[in-house]
Amino acid sequence: GAEVVLRPAAIAGDTATSEAAVLHALDAHEALHGAAVDVVLLVQCTSPFLTREDVDGVARAVVEDGADTAVTVAPFHGFLWRSAQGAAG
Task: Please indicate, yes or no, whether residues 20 and 45 belong to a single structural domain of this protein.
Answer: no
Task: Please indicate, yes or no, whether residues 22 and 43 belong to a single structural domain of this protein.
Answer: no
pTM of the model: 0.68
**Domain assignment of residue 54, yes or no:** yes
Q: How confident is the model at residue 17 (pLDDT cuts 50, 70, 90)?
A: very high
**Domain assignment of residue 87, yes or no:** no
The DSSP-derived string for 19-85 is: HHHHHHHHHHHHHHHSS--S------TT-TT--HHHHHHHHHHHHTT--S-----------S--PPT
Task: Please indicate, yes or no, whether residues 43 and 31 belong to a single structural domain of this protein.
Answer: no
Task: Judge whether 33 and 27 are in contact, CB under 8 Å.
Answer: no
Mean pLDDT of 22-27: 96
